[in-house]
């Protein structure tokens, strides 16, 4: 078969094909490892480089697992994207329970960002600095960071990340703002772009990560294009950062199918092809990576997400549980 990254590398304007990984999947010689090296040119840690994994107490770090992921990328010529420095869903207990002043809280966040960016200087090529700062209703998400650090916290985090990189001699590090479900939610999208405009004005943003936890029904091609094009127009790099494609979405289990029918299989193939084509058509300067959020259907976060409420009944990725290629993979290849 043709491998994704082989085809992508032959494009006039190539870009990385990314995969979300967990450290325990990276055993040399395993089926997973062989596919990863053949098909993918970038990795993101699915959760093991988040704050609650790395930071065990103030100024105390557990680098072991994250280092393993970074070393795998660096040792195999695979780009490493850092995900994510600041996210409301990965606040370590010690920080969530922090009793110091707001100013001291901000210094803890600054120290964390500085230490992590410094530890991985030259090894991690890009970071999601802040993940999901906007609520679905188009307001700022009311996180501990907003409450403790104020409305300017996103800007502060990017300033600290940039300063740490520069101080460490890394002038190439790319800083991304990452969020989900902006394409078919206008108020959320508009709010995200006010944050982005602010970061652009401060010259501390390189790109935008669009998670794209999509379904075969939404968002539409036009919605995705107009969302992404707003960032393109600002000269920013685009990362499709967490792509997967539900075929069985919704919160009403009674309506959900228990089988992956041929109709769904083909709809998913077309929808993968559509988004890859959208990405591929971007100007060279705006391309970075298109990252898929997991390899095999049975290891996807989607069937287990409590938000989505239908355990087991979805098949959102490019490989099935036995590492067999799905039509989704053919669709992906056809988009390149
Ligand atoms: C998810 C991972 O897939 C899970 O393994 C983990 O337990 C929780 O986080 N948006 C993000 C990702 O930015 O970090 C999330 O990943 C999925 C939603």
- Write down the catalytic residue from 48, 242, 274, 299: 242
Q: Is the pLDDT of residue 167 over 80?
A: yes
Helices (H), 233-313: 262-280
CATH label, 4-335, candidates 3.30.70.890, 1.10.8.60, 1.10.645.10, 3.20.20.80: 3.20.20.80
| Angle between helices 102-119 and 153-167 in degrees, nearest 10 | 40
Helices (H), 202-261: 221-232
- Measured distance CA(108)–CA(53) in Å, rounded: 16
User: What number does the ligand 1 atom closest to the CA of 213 have?
Assistant: 18
Is the CB of residue 73 less than 8 Å from the CB of residue 80? Answer: yes
Interval 137-142 mean pLDDT: 98
What ranges do the domains of the chain cover?
4-335
pLDDT tens string 15-43: 999 999 999 999 999 999 999 999 999 99
pLDDT tens string 182-209: 999 999 999 999 999 999 999 999 999 9
pLDDT tens string 286-322: 999 999 999 999 999 998 777 766 666 899 999 999 9
> Who's near 283: CB < 8 A, 6+ residues apart?
13, 232
ipTM (interface pTM): 0.99
User: What number does the ligand 1 atom closest to the CA of 83 have?
Assistant: 14
DSSP code for 256: -
| Angle between helices 186-201 and 221-232 in degrees, nearest 10 | 20
Is the CB of residue 209 less than 8 Å from the CB of residue 177? Answer: yes
The two tokens of residue 6 are 């082989």
User: What number does the ligand 1 atom closest to the CA of 294 have?
Assistant: 3
Is the CB of residue 295 less than 8 Å from the CB of residue 315? Answer: no
pLDDT tens string 201-259: 999 999 999 999 999 999 999 999 999 999 999 999 999 999 999 998 875 555 677 78
| Residues contacting ligand 1 via CB (< 6 Å) | 46-47, 131, 180, 211, 242, 301
Residue of minimum CA distance from atom 8 in ligand 1: 47
Ligand 1 mean position, distance from CA 11 (Å) = 30
pLDDT tens string 47-83: 999 999 999 999 999 999 999 999 999 999 999 999 9
- DSSP-assigned beta bridge partners for residue 296: 319
263 is annotated as an active-site residue: no
Ligand 1 mean position, distance from CA 169 (Å) = 31
Ligand 1 mean position, distance from CA 191 (Å) = 22
Closest CA to 114 of 79, 85, 155: 85
């Amino acid at each position: 078969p043709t491998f994704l990254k082989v085809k992508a590398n032959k494009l006039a304007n190539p870009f990385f094909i990314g995969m979300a990984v967990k450290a325990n999947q990276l055993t040399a010689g395993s089926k997973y490892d062989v596919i990863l090296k053949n098909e993918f040119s970038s990795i993101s840690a699915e959760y093991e480089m988040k704050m609650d994994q790395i930071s065990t107490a103030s100024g105390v770090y557990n680098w072991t697992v994250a280092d393993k992921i970074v070393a795998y990328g660096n040792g195999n010529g695979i780009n490493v994207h850092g995900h994510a420095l600041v996210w409301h869903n990965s606040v370590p207990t010690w920080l969530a329970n922090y009793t110091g002043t707001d100013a001291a809280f901000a210094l803890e966040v600054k120290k964390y960002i500085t230490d992590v960016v410094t530890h991985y200087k030259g090894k991690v090529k890009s970071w999601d600095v802040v993940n999901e700062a906007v609520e679905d209703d188009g307001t700022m998400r009311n996180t501990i960071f907003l409450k403790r650090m104020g409305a300017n916290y996103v800007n502060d985090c990017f300033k600290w990340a940039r300063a740490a990189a520069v101080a460490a001699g890394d002038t190439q590090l790319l800083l991304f703002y990452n969020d989900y479900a902006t394409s078919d939610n206008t108020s959320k999208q508009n709010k995200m772009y006010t944050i982005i405009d602010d970061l652009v004005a401060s010259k501390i943003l390189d790109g935008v990560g669009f998670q794209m936890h999509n379904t075969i029904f939404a968002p539409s091609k036009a919605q995705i294009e107009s969302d992404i094009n707003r960032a393109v127009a600002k000269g920013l790099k685009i990362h499709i950062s967490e792509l997967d494609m539900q075929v069985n979405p919704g919160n009403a289990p009674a309506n959900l199918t228990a089988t992956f029918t041929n109709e769904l299989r083909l709809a998913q193939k077309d929808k993968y092809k559509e988004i890859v084509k959208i990405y591929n058509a971007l100007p060279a300067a705006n391309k970075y990576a298109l990252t898929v959020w997991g390899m095999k259907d049975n290891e996807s976060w989607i069937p287990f997400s409590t938000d989505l409420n239908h355990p087991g009944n979805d098949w959102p990725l490019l490989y099935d549980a036995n590492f067999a290629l799905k039509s989704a993979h053919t669709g992906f290849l056809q988009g390149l």
